[in-house]
Amino acid sequence: MNPTRSPRHRVAILGAGFGGMAAARSLSRLPVDVTLVDQHDYQTFQPLLYQVATAVLPAENAAHPLRSLLRGAKNVGVRRGRVERFELDDRRLRLDGGGTIEYDTLVVAAGSTYGDFGVPGVSHHAFVLQSLLGAVGIRNHVLRQFESAALDPAGADDGRLDIVIAGAGPTGVEMAGSLQELFSVLRRDHPQLADATARIVMVEPAGSVLPQYGPRARRYAERELRRRGVELRLGTGVARAEADHVELTDGTCIATRTLVWAAGVRASALGEQLGAPLGRGRRVAVTENLHLESRPEVFVIGDMADAPGPLPHPQVAQVASQMGAHVGRVLRARLSGANAPPWRYHDKGQMAVIGRGAGVVELSRRYGGLRFGGFMGWLAWLFVHLVYLPGPLNRLAALSAWLHDAFTRERAARLILERGSPELGRGSRWSDPASPVSDGSGRHNPTGEDLRRAA
Amino acid sequence: MNPTRSPRHRVAILGAGFGGMAAARSLSRLPVDVTLVDQHDYQTFQPLLYQVATAVLPAENAAHPLRSLLRGAKNVGVRRGRVERFELDDRRLRLDGGGTIEYDTLVVAAGSTYGDFGVPGVSHHAFVLQSLLGAVGIRNHVLRQFESAALDPAGADDGRLDIVIAGAGPTGVEMAGSLQELFSVLRRDHPQLADATARIVMVEPAGSVLPQYGPRARRYAERELRRRGVELRLGTGVARAEADHVELTDGTCIATRTLVWAAGVRASALGEQLGAPLGRGRRVAVTENLHLESRPEVFVIGDMADAPGPLPHPQVAQVASQMGAHVGRVLRARLSGANAPPWRYHDKGQMAVIGRGAGVVELSRRYGGLRFGGFMGWLAWLFVHLVYLPGPLNRLAALSAWLHDAFTRERAARLILERGSPELGRGSRWSDPASPVSDGSGRHNPTGEDLRRAA
């Protein structure tokens, strides 16, 4: 399983997202040895993180162990770690902790993060939906606001229950709708807060929600969100974030302790180390076969890739998966001395859910161009996400959680999951960074640090 | 919902374990106002924590929100916090953060923790199965040992894969059996470790496993554990714990980075503040109606209570639940000026699971005195725990996880759930004690601090 000792062609894949996993699967049928490097030993199913943050799903159900997903792929090894440095000329990766990986072909699929556009305070005060623990952190924080407000219902109108969501793309919309539903559960939990104000304000510089959707879907989503009590501030952005309020570009100020940042996707800062031209959002320019112009052995795929095309491709799972599969095609061709056809994006369409019983679906023209919303849109969304969510237990858990939520309006996972009383032993200290129990977390992606500096 | 403003009889319950919840339920039918205080907003289902630690269940599935459990009990309010000080003469509790709760009747049900018997190093190096995050911490730690060993299979025999479990009671036995099964999954995950030594050593000063069980059950459990590869060191205790090894009382030394402490239950240190005589294991002496001799308005129940009887009662859920229910009876009698009959423990029996397809059940005489083990014992255990596990989604999740585990020998929840790359915003910093996102954790129970000092 150690490619560096193998005589066969060695492939290193960086990142186990939709792109990296698709690449690993497509390479599992080729006579190559693959090492998949990720900071986690599991694949995070990003599309359902908002359900972890809003207490629909347990954290573990929005992810699945990589080695279980790759059990059939005997030539793929998983290496948990983060990249410290590329040594492209020597075709070598340096990992943190001193390890190295030598490769003949490198696939960089480190994905993207959120950018704060340099808006002051955002990188320090905003929450993002990017990791399992990040999602649990949002859940804990929101639940804690209600706990503290319940102790002083009179003073609960100071905005501590209000939430500002920046960005009205699918993530922002899904988060807003699901938070609104969580709020109604929490009002039942805390009768003394029945009349307290708890607003969800969605801020979007573009003139509408779901900007990348068609006019009908946009109007439907706007109507549904408003009907459910979400306050829309369209044509407005966040100007500055503080611990207890957010200032908007239109000069207004919203008292809140919870800013969810769902805007400004930015490709991983690893791209800067590849010595290739960077495009919009720090995406790396690649050829029609998804490798660097200067280094055919280095592929860049998914959110990080700026592939040739009339328009930049959307940074979504579909594109990443198709790019990952294409890497397999190109490598197969190369190994047999042939040429692969250029990569083409086959857009299947897009879908988003606004909340219980409400979704929008837009199939691409090649899939019939069908566009519909409402309850059918919701069902379609559930079905597609059940199909793509990895792990049979996760699917069962998601399906039962959705049905339970729809019929009982309960959120069973609304636990403030954090350290309780200090206990005997390390078991209780796992969340303490100083403890051995929380060491070894990795990253390929220093973006966070950039943002810390920006903060 | 704020009892201190109510003219009605005010009851404060400390702790939402089996005892506290039973008391809350029994009081929900009386004309009293109840405040249930716990450090968490959920009830932890302790009996399944070992399955969280061994990657069978997601953490959220071994707990359920208190307010959802008490939805029907309109006169019960939940207060998340920890007790700083009792003011028994003024019938007042001081909570951390300055809050106070005035009561007419107090029910102390703060449970127990593990004691280290003063064995050096234990309180610093040992893991305990006491909280959800503690269980996740054990899971992370064990998985991390295999990750690090996989990078250096040759050096993996330095004991980093070995686990020492102190205590062969039900918790220790269940942990050992389930860890052994997890190991076989992890060997499949890491083929390079197929031949590496990964021992599970169970240390028990008593002469046998499950000391509180009958001879047949003890022999069966021993045979099964050995058959499954668990190494038993009976008649031996832990003499000292270090980061990389454990010294036993028989002079031998075991190289390990993982000591699981499942011995020495010790009642909450809150008992020391009640001004009542303390019995074995720091249990508080109470009358036959479970209140302090000197203060009839202060009840002490569950693991903390030392109720009169030929023998001390076992510190188990059964006893706690029956004591909690009895508090309701006593209070009803008092409110109507009558006397309640003394509390009597109705022992139903005991059961433990050794692993897949193997359990032991011992019904008490009044329930037929039936004793059986093996597959039927396992099924009985599953059934009973499904019935008592709170939350329909939790039951479904547990049932499906057990079937999935039994048929596929997979452990779907084996994720190293810890901080990944630093991200934009606080969402990623939830586990950082310095972050607002992890503030507000409470405790009723300074025991941990005692142990820190002991460490």
Q: For A151-166, how does the pLDDT look when each residue is reduced to its tens digit (9 = 90+)?
A: 999 888 899 999 999 9
DSSP-derived pairing of the beta strands A358-363 and A349-355: antiparallel
Between the CA of residue B33 and those of A148, A224, B41, B370, what are the distances in Å? 21, 41, 19, 42
Most confident of B43-47, B150-154, B439-443: B43-47
Q: Which residues between 120 and 179 in chain A have a beta carbon less than 8 angstroms from any beta carbon of chain B?
A: 122-138, 140-141, 143-144, 147-148, 151
Among residues A60, A102, A174, A247, the one annotated as catalytic is A174
- Which of the two residues, B405 and A434, has the higher pLDDT score? B405
B417 with A135: Cβ contact below 8 A: no
Q: Which residues in A lie closer than 8 A to residue B424 (C-beta atoms)?
A: 113-116, 122-123, 126, 128, 130, 261, 447-448, 451
- pLDDT category of residue A420 using cuts at 50, 70 and 90: low
Average pLDDT of the residues of chain A: 90
pLDDT reading at A45 higher than 50: yes
3-class secondary structure, A21: helix
Give the tokens for residue A400. Answer: 């039962």
Inter-chain contact B134–A188, Cβ cutoff 8 Å?
no
Model confidence at A121: pLDDT above 70 = yes
- Of residues A354 and A438, more confidence is placed in A354
What is the per-residue pLDDT for A131? 93
For B121, the enclosing helix (H) or strand (E) is none
Check residue A439 and give its pLDDT.
26
Q: What mean pLDDT is reported for chain B? A: 90
Contact status, residue A243 vs residue A257, Cβ threshold 8 Å:
yes
**What proportion of chain B, given as a percentage, has pLDDT over 90?**
85
Average the pLDDT over A200-227 and give the result.
96
B-chain residues near A396 (CB < 8 A): 396-397, 400
Label residue B336 exposed, middle or buried (CB < 10 Å: 0-12, 13-18, 19+): exposed
pLDDT in tens, A282-317: 999 999 999 999 999 999 999 999 999 888 899 999
Q: Do A427 and B128 make contact, defined as CB atoms within 8 angstroms?
A: yes
pLDDT of residue A455 exceeding 60, the answer is no
Indicate the length of chain A as a whole number. 455
- Mark whether B231 is an active-site residue: no
Give me the mean pLDDT over the A206-220 stretch: 96
Sort residue B290 into left (φ over 0), alpha (ψ -120 to 50) or beta: left
- How many interchain CB pairs under 8 A, A with B? 337
**pLDDT digit string (tens) for A327-368?**
999 999 999 999 999 999 999 999 999 999 999 999 999 999
In this predicted structure, the answer to whether residue B440 has a pLDDT above a threshold of 50 is: no
CA distance A398 to A415: 17
Asked if residue A354 lies in contact with residue A382, where contact means CB atoms within 8 angstroms, the answer is no
The answer to whether the beta carbons of residues A374 and A358 sit under 8 Å apart is yes
Residue A145's SS3 state is helix
Which of the residue ranges A60-74, A421-435, B58-72 would you say has the lowest mean pLDDT?
A421-435
Tell me, what's the pLDDT at B433?
A: 28
Verify whether the Cβ–Cβ distance A441 to B418 is below 8 Å: yes
Higher pLDDT, A422 or A389: A389
Q: What's the CA gap between A33 and B276, in Å, rounded?
A: 69
Q: Are B186 and B178 in contact (CB under 8 A)?
A: no
Above 60 in pLDDT, residue B265? yes
pLDDT tens-place string over residues B164-175: 999 999 999 999
**Cα–Cα distance measured from residue A159 to residue A245, given in angstroms and rounded to the nearest whole number:** 8
A418-432, B71-85, B145-159, B164-178: lowest mean pLDDT where?
A418-432
Q: Residue A257 pLDDT > 90, yes or no?
A: yes
Contacts of B137 in chain A (CB under 8 A): 426-431, 437
- Supply the pLDDT for residue B452: 26
Check whether B310 has a pLDDT greater than 90.
no
Q: Kindly indicate the confidence band of residue A442, based on its pLDDT and cuts at 50, 70 and 90.
A: very low
Give helix then strand counts, H and E, for chain B. 11, 25
Residue B443 clears pLDDT 50, i.e. is over it: no
* ipTM reported for the complex, 2 dp: 0.90
pLDDT at A264: 84
The CATH number fitting domain A3-114+266-336, selected from 3.40.228.10, 1.20.120.80, 3.50.50.60, 3.40.50.1820: 3.50.50.60
CB contact under 8 A, B441 and A423: no
Taking residues B124-139, what's their average pLDDT? 94
| pLDDT confidence of residue A421 | 53
Nearest to B23 by CA among B91, B96, B93, B103: B103
Give percent above pLDDT 90 in chain A: 85
B437 vs A158: which has the higher pLDDT: A158
* Strand partners for B353: B359
Q: Coil, helix or strand for A288?
A: coil
Measure the CA–CA gap between A159 and A197, rounded to whole angstroms. 8
